[in-house]
Chains A and B, each alone.
Chain A
Amino acid sequence: MNMQIYVDGIGVWAPGLAGWAASREILAGGKTYQVVSLPRPSPALLPPTERRRSSNTILLAIQVAEETVECAAANPREVATVFASSSGDMDILHDLCAALALPERQVSPTRFHNSVHNAAAGYWSIASGSQRPSTSLSCHDFTFVAGLVESVGQIAAECQPVLLVAYDWPPPPPLHAKRPLSAAFSAGILLSPRRSEKSMAALSINMTMSGADHVTKMSDAELELLRCGNPAARALPLLAAIGRRQPDTITLDYLDDNNMRIQVTPCV
């Protein structure tokens, strides 16, 4: 199978990568990557009270979803979504499990409904008004490619654009020892079945069984650490290839010997 789709918009949020506009040159290799801490994400789409109450994980995902849709000048109501996160909201899971370890087992109803893996997707659909289908998934360290697989399936079946948002926020202390993530990271990519004046790049996607040796790494050592340190950051080689604005073929790793090979062709 070989599937051709188009990238209409990108969003990114991670230490030293504050949005696509500020990050494109860094990822393309034209500017040095510097690890600087970022302010708490603050998506404009969420009402101020919601923004104050929301967890870091939800803010991160919504912020990048918002940036990606704006970058593509798309109407969010017309876009289906795939939210891909390895672990979901570990701060909330920590709060729930800590509360349930106490004798009184008092659970906050808001924390409980925010603990579902599709919480970010739910808040996005409410904030954007999108009633389009939405899928939230996980594939542990290979969650980004799994999100791409699901997105490509939706685009092919529905002939409609899909917003893919991959995000993971490092867990709080006791869980961090069991699931160490080096930094927060989120990448968004708006994929379309058709080429238009908004298309940034064409992606030709193949699944291969080429093995781990062929996986594309980041040439900058710090960016490579980031790629390996957060499952959502496995998107970095794809973002870098789009940012370079030159034809390239990259390979992203997936389960066992499965890989996703993506031929990237700039549209401008």
Chain B
Amino acid sequence: MTPLLISAFTVVNALGRGNAATYNALRNRQSGLRPCHLPFADLDTHVGEVAGLDDVSLPPHLAHYDCRNNRLAYLGLQQDGFMNAVAAARDRYGAGRIAVILGTSTSGILQTETAYRQRDPVTGALPEWFAYRYTHNIFSSGDFVRHVLQLTGPAYVISTACSSSAKVFSSAQRLMALGFCDAVVVGGVDSLCATTLYGFSSLELVARRPCRPADANREGISIGEAAGYALLERPDSDSHANAPALLGCGESSDAYHMSSPHPEGAGAMSAMQRALSSAGLAPQDIDYINLHGTATRANDAVEDLAVSRLFGNNTFCSSTKGWTGHTLGAAGITDAVIACLCLERGLIPGSLNTNEVDPAFSSRVVVENREQAVTRVLSNSFGFGGNNCSLIFGAPP
């Protein structure tokens, strides 16, 4: 594929608002995971909650989109000068030439959960205030974001569980290659809700203590929430000489099971291979792999198998879920922004909360931070339904 410049990027997650908050927490090895005290979940677990969402107000003309997910989406847009960067791109290309492709797993389902607790006791009707289209519908965040950014190009929201906001990069680069648009705002928004907290708990995949990726005694995920965005442009666009670039994308399906990964990691391996080949790179060209690394028994074991088959024991790898929690539909963009920060500032984060790397693992999991030049990062995102996506970020060629 033709590399695309990432001329602006930002993220909000449990580590704080904006890129600096995430970078500083990574560097200082401070986790964003805290005991769960959410009003809608009475569970003994840790979550990666974004502070202050109750105080976020949407612009008055977009008040009908109000829900936790769109508040998080809006908070994300306001960091790191992202809205200014998009406004400048809008001036360059025109509002109709910029696409918006976001990812989410559950969108604003928390709003529907709340509405179901307020059904009319006689008719069962949902309350008047509940606006399904603007809050819970999968497209809601995409619709909201294009209105905030005043963009009128093509748009849709991808929802493939935990690979959603990685796949947005693949779709974006294809639409750019086709000439459907001149720039794309990609991103992902997923917020905490009872559906995922109780749902993953019912599958016995949620850890009580903060998640411990790749640890011999890992016991499951910590669920987090996040919003993140990236502005993708062609490399010929001026004035972004030092911006990181999207170099490769690879996607695959496991065709194995709805909620368990392929036992030999066939889908994960194929996604990584496709990403390498689309970037025209070999495994040794990758300095760091940001693992999907959810800290479930199955995910981490299978991902280790796939990574070690392709990369041997040579390439540094780690998961950053110990900092952010698993932000599900926003995991792809969260890890993409982390990859860009690692490239820009020369950091390989060592897996947090990992006391003892699983002795059965063969890949080179790092547990201490390394400050060194990083030129190419591969980022994995795998989702329910066996949906896999690997991305490669690096300095523009």
Contact = CB atoms under 8 A, between A and B. Distances in A.
Interface of A: 1, 3, 86-88, 93, 96-98, 100-101, 105-109, 112-119, 121-123, 125-126, 128-140, 143, 146, 149-150, 152-154, 156-157, 173-175, 177-179, 207, 209, 254-258
Nearest to A178: B132
The 3 tightest CB contacts between A and B, nearest first, are: A122-B385, A112-B199, A153-B174
B314 interface: no
B152 A255 contact: yes
B200 interface: yes
Nearest to B251: A133
Contact of A139 (B132, B157, B201, B270): B157
Interface residues of B, number: 69
Contact of A119 (B152, B170, B385): B385
B159 A122 contact: no
A251 to B, nearest CB: 15
B382 to A, nearest CB: 12
A93 B131 CA distance: 15
Contacts of A154: 174
B175 interface: yes
Contacts of B156: 137-139, 143, 146, 149-150
Contacts of B105: 116-117
Contacts of A257: 152
A157 B384 contact: no
Nearest to B160: A118
B155 interface: yes
Contacts of B194: 100, 105
Contact of B116 (A101, A112, A131, A137): A101
Q: Classify the secondary structure of A's interface with B.
A: mixed
Q: Classify the secondary structure of B's interface with A.
A: mixed
B255 interface: yes
A107 B202 contact: yes
B167 interface: yes
A107 B199 contact: yes
B254 interface: yes
A58 to B, nearest CB: 11
Nearest to A110: B258
A1 B176 CA distance: 11
Nearest to B328: A116
B61 to A, nearest CB: 16
A104 to B, nearest CB: 10
Interface in B1-49: 1, 42
Contact of B159 (A88, A97, A106, A132): A88
Interface stretch (B119-127, B222-230, B363-371): B119-127
A149 B198 contact: no
B142 A139 contact: yes
Given A121-B385, A178-B130, A100 B159 contact: no
A131 B254 contact: yes
Interface stretch (B177-185, B283-291, B342-350): B177-185
Contacts of A97: 109, 112-113, 115-116, 195
